[in-house]
Structure 1
Amino acid sequence: MTSETEHPAGHDQPRRRRKGRWLACGCALPVLLVLVLGAIGGWMLFTALSAKTALSSAASALAGAQSAILDGDVASAQVAVQEASQETAKAHRQTSDIVWRAVSAVPWLGSSPKAVMLSAEAADQVVSGALPQFVGAAQTLDVTTIKAGDGSVDLARFAPAATQLAGAEQSMLAARDTMAGVPTSGVPGFVSDGVGQLNDKIDEALTASGVASKLLAVLPGMLGQSGTKSYFVAFQSPVEIRGTGGFLGTFGLMTVQDGKLVSKEVESNTLLKNFPAPVLDLGPEYSQLYGQDPAEWVNMNLSPNFPFAGAQWAQAWKVQTGQQVAGVMGVDITALKYLIQATGPVTAPDGKVLTADNVIEYLGNDVYLEKENTDRKNYQADVATELIDRVLHLEGGTSALIQALTASVSGGHLQLWSADAAAQQAIAATPLAGQTPSVAGPYAQLVLNNGGGNKLDYYVARKVEYTGGQCSSNGTRKSSVKITLTNTAPNEAIGLGGSKPGLVNRVITYTHLPIGGGYTAARLNGNPIQPSSGMELQHPVAVMSVDIPQGASVVLEYDLQEPVSDGAPVVPVQPMVIPQETVVNWSGC
């Protein structure tokens, strides 16, 4: 028998109400939490997209400012930077508030917010900090301000420009440090893509500012700020190819003082006296590859490493004349084309007008059929000297000259060596040095030297294919280099032939291979061969002389074994009239 105890009416009502309130709260809290998190998530998504826009704006602003500066439109560059600065500053503010900082501190969950927050900060450092300094340096060096009334270059403006570039470099370094803290895992694709894009642009800008700063530091001295400077100018003709771009047909001596060209002389190479032995000892490896040939002026640039040529030409000039030049400049006919594009056509001594469209064909081919040896060399030198004179007088404007010089330097058509160690160190950091890189990693470089005493290299077409093969557990991998050389000479070129009959061209090939590697087999047109071997600047070099019949191709192949490397393949290109076709097939091990 059971009994029930009755409670007074209404005694349990408060408990039920409290329970109801707890149930209501329990249902409301998840909803409230969802709403709060949704609001935070929505805000973060909105600001993340704003940060993505900022990243794109920063990268675009870098490219846009560079383009405007090269076009000579500094005012447009300033406007573009100001507009981008407003966007990046806004994105930086939006992604650095308390919500972003709190969420970015949460492990894993905070990877993406932290990446966006730091990227927006770096973007603002680039656009608001570095770019105004870059634009300011461009304005300081504009032709309207740097060119003095007497036609000289105002060397006093180089120091302020260098200071502005140094400031830009500091902002870029700060941005790179900021980007170094960006997480790499747990980050959405659109964020990581923006981060990678900005990182690439920062690295490019740092490289450019570093090179420019170094050059601005030494250029006043090179242009005669502290005394007269004379330079030997080698006009290299690619119709008879040499390692640095062509044989020395004519030369000039140019003297500058206080930023002004004060004298120039142009002569044929017939005035240059050859020597019984090379004028400089560049080591046993150099001697093994080139023997006694560099005792002649026209063979002092057989190596593709321009510092070797510059040092020998300077020493040879000193031995012959007693004069120590401050440096050596190498110029070829493709550089003349770019300079004509920048400064306008040149009227040659015979009244012929040379334009960017006809200068390579005329100076590289037609003039050899029309003029005798000495007349031809003087003709070429007069044209080249006129164009260099224009550059030193800043004709054509800063932007056009920068574009012409950039194209000339990047293609190896304009090279410079300085006898001053500090200046040469600055030059060596740029393509202007024409210096062979001595860096480990995948590497293949084809270098040709004329072996037929002819002028047919104007018609040589080249294709270089560099292919990575199987990787081994011993730290090496197989690879291959395939070289195709084609003689495109027409019948009308018969007057350009040399020691070989008809229009057969002979070239000596020097194939520079990866440091620590070498070839295991070689073939010419499919037949096994045994090339000569040597070393240059740590690179193994395979040497083979080949004859190329008119209208035909020859194929030279090397099977290689080289160290495994994470580095990207490097395939330097020798400057010639017909551009080299380069094909790289490569993947990591």
Structure 2
Amino acid sequence: MSDGRLPVRRRWVGWTIGILLALLIIALGWVIVRGIGAVNDLQQVAKDSSRLKTAITAADITSAEPIAERIAHHAQSARELTSDPVWQAFGVIPWIGPNFRAVSEVAEVADDVAQKALTPMLDVAEDFDLAGLGFTGGAIDLEPFAAIEAPLGEASAALTAAQLQAQHIDEDATVGPLADAVREMRTTVTQAANVVGALHGAAVLLPTMLGGEGPRNYVLAMQNNAELRSSGGIIGSSALLHAENGKITLQKQASTPDFPALDTPLPVSDATVALFEDRPGRYMQNITSIPDFSEAGPTIAARWEGRFGGEVDGVIAVDTVVAANLMKATGDLSFGSFTATPDTIVSILLSEIYATIPDPRVQDKVFAQAASALFGAALSGGEPKALIGALSESADEHRIRIWSAHEDEQKVLAASTLGGTIPADSSDATYVGVLINDSTGGKMDYYTRASISTAIGTCEGEPTTQLRVTWKNDAPADAATALPAYVTANGWYGVPAGSVRTLIALYGPEGATASHIDRDGTEDGVQTAVLEGRAVVQHEVLLAPGESTTITIDFQGTGAGERLTQVLHTPMIDTPKTTREKLDCAS
């Protein structure tokens, strides 16, 4: 006869389930409470980071120090709240686990930046005016750079490590608001790493590159984005800069007619010849078609030395948008019959000048006047910290490229964004790219637009990286008659006036091969090349006003299908929108 009690074994199972449920409820409460605290801490870090940026930009170190202390406190608190065993255990649960891991990793990145980067940066700022970078009386004081190189290097290393860690956070596996926060944090850390890295590079390179150990001469190549080349635009004008003891002076200016085509081309790489024949070796204006600036730079130097003699210590290439960025620091600019603002300088130099001044020789004179006026304003009237901000913005957009004839300096430059090289793929980043070169012969790229997307995954059992670019001729319908002949090229090179003919090259990850090539749903004739171990596929497209085309290439095999894939592209007037899409395998 039963006494109504459950058997011992069943009671034991019930107790076990009850205990587990109780522990789960306690654990949930634990992570919820700690999660709320961590989120609050991270929100405060975000707010204070914005305040800190404002204070440092204004060179207000007194205000920056307590803000940095608050950031460090909240970042450390967030890290402690999200690093205990219970929180880490929730991080391995399917579906919800990536969200816990992401919050923990964001807190860890914030704490590392606060402890390892902010502290040495503020220590430097107390002894050296980072906002002014040593500008005094039109020259840069080179002496303090030796003292700040080490702490800037420490801060740069910490930010680079944080940037790499942030890249490895898989925001696609998290909920929407958290994914947005991860992307915002990644952007902020990347910008900080680029700026501090550039400052550290300046501390290493400027003392010698600006003539601290003897005079230096540099060719400044100014690229015109209205006629695109791989690194930004055709070389429309150039100048020789002289640097000595931190002071920079403009020595000589030249334009395209000063460099007639060579009967015997300068040597260029096999990849360059495969894509552009020997034109970069013959024509000064085409040298920037060369994708790698470590090859383009010495080629520009050789052309200058061959024409004017002397010895060139390096080459600096900038595009027209750099002028707009610099004018935010220098103010309005007058040259020839024009007065430009930061908002109008690009349209004046790349469009209006051709309608106003039909003679190319007079155009060249006005371009030279504009360059001289901007150079003078930047060195004498620009606010140093604003100038540095403008140069940093331009460098982030890959609008400034530098090559040095001195091996030790070139090694540092080649490893930075300023070097204009294609970085090697690694576990931290895989690179694909789009190179755009005009073959219209006019200045129609003022009216072109681009968008770029990538997709990664597996197709037919093979790791796949899909790269897609849409290219549009956005010129007015009556461009053939409404625009100057110098802009449309007026059919001089076989392109109907108003149309745009463009070479569009897409390259994939190192070691991958192009398995599927598609243009607007059909196969098209292409050129192929190998660029530093990367397969390159180039289309030549012709578009009438209003027309667009979409090129899609699947790269498969070694190096493909990597989540951490980044896109490099030719700098244009309007930066192309770059997105990540869902992979749609070719049929």
Q: What interval of TM-score do these two structures reach, taking the shorter chain for normalisation?
A: 0.7 to 0.9
Structure 1: any 5+ residue segments left out of the alignment? Answer: 1-37, 180-189
What runs of 5+ residues in structure 2 fail to find an aligned partner?
1-24, 167-176
State the Cα deviation string for residues 426-460 of structure 1 (Å, max 9, x = none): 22333222222342776543322221221212111
Q: 3-state SS of the aligned residue for 1:127?
A: helix
Which amino acid counterpart does residue 573 of structure 1 have in structure 2?
Answer: H
1:35 corresponds to which residue?
none
Please tell me whether residue 515 in structure 1 is matched to residue 514 in structure 2: no
Instruction: Tell me how far apart the structure 2 counterparts of residues 338 and 66 of structure 1 sit (CA, whole Å).
Output: 19
Matched, 1:557 2:551: yes
- Which of 497, 502, 526 is the equivalent residue of 1:502? 497
The residue that corresponds to 2:204 in the other structure is 217
- 1:260, distance to aligned residue in structure 2 (A): 0.7
- Supply the AA of the counterpart residue of 2:231: T
Q: Which moved more, 1:354-363 or 1:500-509?
A: 500-509
| Residue 333 (structure 1) aligns with | 320
Q: Is the 8 A contact 1:461 1:488 kept in 2?
A: no
Greater Cα radius of gyration, structure 1 or 2: 1
**Could you say what secondary structure the match of 2:483 adopts?**
helix
Residue 7 of structure 2 is matched in structure 1 by none
**Residue 451, structure 1, aligned to residue 445, structure 2:** no
* Larger displacement relative to structure 2 (322-331 or 67-76): 67-76
The structure 2 residue matched to 1:574, chosen from 547, 565, 570, is 570
The alpha carbon displacement at 1:578 in A equals 3.5
Q: Distance in 1 between matches of 2:401 and 2:432?
A: 21
Q: Secondary structure at the match of 2:257?
A: helix
Q: Does the C-alpha gap of structure 1 residues 583 and 221 become closer, same or farther in structure 2, counting only changes over 3 Å? A: same
In the superposition, relative to structure 1, how do residues 267 and 63 fare at CA in structure 2: closer, same or farther (>3 Å)?
same
8 A contact 2:435–2:506 mirrored in 1: yes
1:141 corresponds to 2:129: yes
User: What code does the residue aligned with 2:578 have?
Assistant: T
Contact 1:470 1:479 in 2 (8 A): no
Is 1:542 the counterpart of 2:537? The answer is: yes
Q: Which residue of 404, 409, 412 corresponds with 1:423?
A: 409
The answer as to 2:483 corresponding to 1:493 is: yes
Instruction: Give the counterpart of 2:345 among 359, 364, 372.
Output: 359
Does the CA-based 8 Å contact 1:152-1:260 persist in structure 2?
yes
CA deviation string 1:136-179 (max 9, x = no partner) = 4345134568233x421111122222233245457779999999
Instruction: Tell me the SS of whatever aligns to 1:320.
Output: helix
1:250-297 CA distance string (max 9 Å, x none):
111110111112443222221224322332x34323322222212111
Q: CA deviation at 1:416?
A: 1.6
Residue from 248, 252, 263 that aligns with 2:235: 248
1:163 alignment counterpart: 150
For residues 399 and 562 of structure 1, do their structure 2 counterparts lie closer, same or farther at Cα, with a shift above 3 Å needed? same
What is the match of residue 256 of structure 2?
269
Corresponding residue SS for 2:139: coil
Distance 1:570 1:461 in 2: 20
Scaled by the length of structure 1, what TM-score is found?
0.77
Checking the alignment, whether the CA contact within 8 Å between 2:59 and 2:131 is kept in structure 1 is no
Q: 1:77 aligns with which of 64, 70, 78?
A: 64
Q: Which whole-Å CA distance do the structure 1 matches of 2:447 and 2:180 have between them? A: 44
Displacement, 1:82? 3.5
Indicate the residue corresponding to 1:403 in structure 2: 389
CA contact (8 A) 2:510 2:534 kept: yes
Q: Give the match for residue 172 of structure 2.
A: none
Shift in Å at residue 211 of structure 1?
4.6
How do 1:317-396 residues align onto structure 2 when only pairs under 5 Å count? Answer: 317-350=304-337, 352-371=338-357, 372-393=359-380, 395-396=381-382
How many residues align? The count is 536
Report the Cα distance in structure 2 between the residues aligned to 1:173 and 1:364, rounded to whole angstroms.
37
Shift of 1:348: 0.7
The one-letter amino acid paired with 1:493 is L
Task: Measure, in 2, the Cα distance between the counterparts of 1:318 and 1:218.
Answer: 23
* Residues 1:106 and 1:574: Cα distance change in structure 2 (over 3 Å): closer
Q: Is the 8 A contact 1:256 1:263 kept in 2?
A: no
Closer/same/farther in 2, CA of residues 173 and 305 from structure 1, 3 Å limit: closer
> Corresponding residue for 2:398?
412
Distance apart, 1:355 and its partner CA: 0.7
Query: For 1:462, which of 450, 472, 484 is the aligned residue?
Result: 450
- The answer on 1:286 being equivalent to 2:286 is no
> Following TM superposition, by how much is the alpha carbon of 1:233 offset from its aligned partner in structure 2, in angstroms?
0.8
Q: What's the secondary structure of 1:310's corresponding residue? A: helix
Taking a change above 3 Å as real, the CA distance of residues 378 and 88 of structure 1, as seen in their structure-2 partners, is same
Q: SS state of the match for residue 317, structure 1?
A: helix
Contact 1:252 1:385 in 2 (8 A): no
- Alignment TM-score, normalising by the size of structure 2: 0.77
Q: Which deviates more, 539-548 or 82-91? A: 82-91
Distance 2:87 2:456 in 1: 44
Deviation of 1:410 (Å)? 1.9
Percent identity, aligned pairs only, is 22
Distance 1:567 1:385, change over 3 A: farther
CA drift of 1:313 comes to: 0.3
- Superposed displacement of residue 424, structure 1: 2.1
Gap change, CA 1:204 and 1:56, over 3 Å in 2: farther
